[in-house]
Amino acid sequence: MTEGGLARRIRWMGVFILVCFVAVFVQLNNLQVVQAHKYASDPNNPAVAAARDSQPRGAITSVEGTVLAQSVKAPKGSTFAYDRQYPTGPLFGQITGTFSYYHGLFGVEASYNSYLIAHNRPLKSLGDLLTTSTVTDTVILTLSDKLQMAAQQALGGRDGSVVVLDPSTGAVEAMYSNPSYDPGPLASQVAKTVHDAWIADTSTKDAQGHLPFTSLAYQDTAFPGSTFKVVTTTATYEKAPQFVNASMPYYTCIPPKTLGGQTTPLCNYGNGGCGGTIAEMLPPSCDTGYAILGTKVGADNMVAAADAFGFNKQPPLDLPPSPFEVSQFLQPNCYQNAEIFLAFSSIGQFCTRATPLQMAMVAAAVANKGVIMTPHVMDQIRDSGGNLVKTYAPTTWLTAMSPQTASAVNGLMVGVTHNSNGTAAGIFPPSEDVAAKTGTAQVQNAAGQYIATNDWMIAFAPANAPKVAIAVELLDQPVSGTGAEKAGPVMATMIQDVLSAPAAAGH
């Protein structure tokens, strides 16, 4: 070995060390540029907690600009420097969620936390390189506080929900349900206040057994009743068109043992008699005919059609997801392979459970030529200077049916309000051109007695150029109640408010 050999090896050793440091440099880029945002916004990051607790958060406003949540300086001597206020109280509680020092983040406070929280100003100029300052953004929702308040008033304290969608964008324009909760006390710095509110909101049920913290509008399901016939109708057009013009037998009650597994009669509401083709059955909401139609279309076709509307799927709403938001149709834990299950489920009972948000999307699908847009509550995000940071770009979630089917079903739903035998006849002024479907789901107790009804209506208007799709749900109404009677007036108010309002801001 020569001296030159040693010099060469020393050079190679130098190259080796250089390569080591290059690897460090590459990984540093990975950590500090590529993955920086992920680490910097991780809720377990102490800097995130410190920023959360010591700095003001951005505001949340309605589409009109009404402040729904804001940070204000806390009185001297407080543990944390800022208090979070919710001026509208329970009206938007289930949407904004709350910012709790003790229980964490919920609702929009959680899903848009990375914008609301104080974060480093994005680099825009050379000067920003030298001065690091933090900013918060304002989250502007698609929800209108006027419509939200109209929904609250129309429900009149009864347990139930109103969901108002723009069918062409998926924007949620109102989503209110009773019972609701005031996010303010949960955001308090006083432990006792938070504790009491937490008990009241998350584990104290109201008379009908519902928790204020859980939104009936999108976090809980119920039998949708006959409103589900829109899905059954669509399934027939899309999957089994030979039955579109087939005449179903005329029944008052389907006698026991007519359908596989049937032990009791399946009767129409008020024991009326009906049958015939879809066009004859949808406006008067013929239960016996649709029950038999569902069994003819078949379980596989029905499930495929329901899935195409978003059943059995987590809805991609931009609020923190929970498994209770999934609407169900013929889930294995309910459905047993017998015709009677399918018959009842086809008319929105038994193995069919839906959130009002899901049923609003059913109406929206028909209104929007078969396409369901991704539902969303965020409209825009603006920085403190009012500059646009982000706008929600509408995206397609599902295609529920072809435009031809949508047009046909649209016509049938207009029949529900226009035909003299339609279940919603006379509820809406003809000028509004409303297409609707009512639903009355009977609630049984353990002994099989009917003790209450869930009264529903879904609608969109104007039918020839839909601007809005709405679902109204009233839970635990008297046995005598119907969708038309109970949900109808709420729907009429909502549609009138939407159509009479000037075009909503921001659209």
Partner 1 sequence: MAARRRSLWLRRSSRPRRGPNSRRRTELGLLVFVSLVVAAAYVLASIGTTAKVPPDLGVFLAIVLGLALVAHLGTRRLAPDANPVVLPVTALLNGLGYVMLARLDAHYARLQAGWTAVGILAYVATLVFVRHSRDLDRYRYLLLLAGVALLLLPLVPHLGVNIGGARLWVKVGPATGQPVELAKILLVVFFASYFTEKRELLSLPTLRVGDRLVLDPRPALPIVLAWGFALAVLGAENDVGFAMLIFVLFVGMLWLATGRMMWLGFGVGLFAAGAVAADKLFKHVAQRVTDWLHPWGYNAAHGGYQLVQGMYAFGNGGLIGTGLGYGTALGPDCLHSKIPEVCTDYIFSAFGEEMGLLGTTLLVFAFVLLAGAGMRIAQTARSEFAKMTAAGLTIIIGLQAFFIMAGIIRLLPLTGITLPFMAYGGSSLVANYILVALLVRISDEGAHSIAVGATATRVTAAVPQPAR
Q: How far is the CB of 325 from partner 1 (least distance, A)?
A: 26
For 431, counting Cβ atoms within 10 Å of its Cβ (0-12 exposed, 13-18 middle, 19+ buried), the class is exposed
Exactly one of 17, 446, 465, 503 binds partner 1 (CB under 8 A); that residue is: 17
**Shortest CA distance to 146 belongs to which of 106, 173, 112?**
173
Could you give the C-alpha distances from 230 to 47, 234, 309, 312, 313, in angstroms and in order? 51, 6, 10, 17, 18
Q: How far is the CB of 71 from partner 1 (least distance, A)?
A: 18
Residues 89-128 interacting with partner 1 (rule: CB under 8 A): 120, 123
CB 219 within 8 A of CB 275: no
Q: How far is the CB of 53 from partner 1 (least distance, A)?
A: 11
**Helix or strand holding residue 274 (H, E):** strand 274-276
- The piece of 47-55, 78-86, 268-276, 404-412 that touches partner 1 (CB under 8 A) is 47-55
Nearer to partner 1, 16 or 203 (CB): 16
Beta strand extents in 219-272 (DSSP E only): 248-251, 253-254, 266-267
Exactly one of 113, 132, 383, 426 binds partner 1 (CB under 8 A); that residue is: 132
Exactly one of 77, 125, 129, 448 binds partner 1 (CB under 8 A); that residue is: 129
Nearer to partner 1, 33 or 207 (CB): 33
Rounded to an integer, what distance in angstroms lies between the CA atom of residue 343 and that of residue 401? 22
Rounded to an integer, what distance in angstroms lies between the CA atom of residue 44 and that of residue 101? 14
Q: How far is the CB of 322 from partner 1 (least distance, A)?
A: 21
Q: How many chain residues interact with partner 1 (CB under 8 A)?
A: 40
- The piece of 40-48, 75-83, 469-477, 496-504 that touches partner 1 (CB under 8 A) is 40-48
Nearer to partner 1, 22 or 479 (CB): 22
Question: x/- string (CB under 8 A) for partner 1, residues 20-39?
Answer: xx-xxx-xxx-xxx-xxxxx
CB 379 within 8 A of CB 506: yes
Nearer to partner 1, 36 or 191 (CB): 36
**Shortest CA distance to 366 belongs to which of 302, 417, 309?**
309
Q: How far is the CB of 14 from partner 1 (least distance, A)?
A: 4
Rounded to an integer, what distance in angstroms lies between the CA atom of residue 329 and that of residue 346? 9
Number of C-beta neighbours around residue 27 at 10 A:
10
Q: Torsions phi, psi of 438, nearest 5?
A: -95, 165
Q: How far is the CB of 97 from partner 1 (least distance, A)?
A: 25
- The piece of 16-24, 108-116, 198-206, 328-336 that touches partner 1 (CB under 8 A) is 16-24
Q: Is residue 46 a contact residue for partner 1 (CB under 8 A)?
A: yes
Number of C-beta neighbours around residue 496 at 10 A:
16
**Shortest CA distance to 293 belongs to which of 311, 309, 305?**
305
Name the residues that contact partner 1, by CB under 8 A: 1, 3, 5-7, 9-11, 13-14, 17-18, 20-21, 23-25, 27-29, 31-33, 35-40, 42, 44-47, 50-51, 120, 123, 129, 132
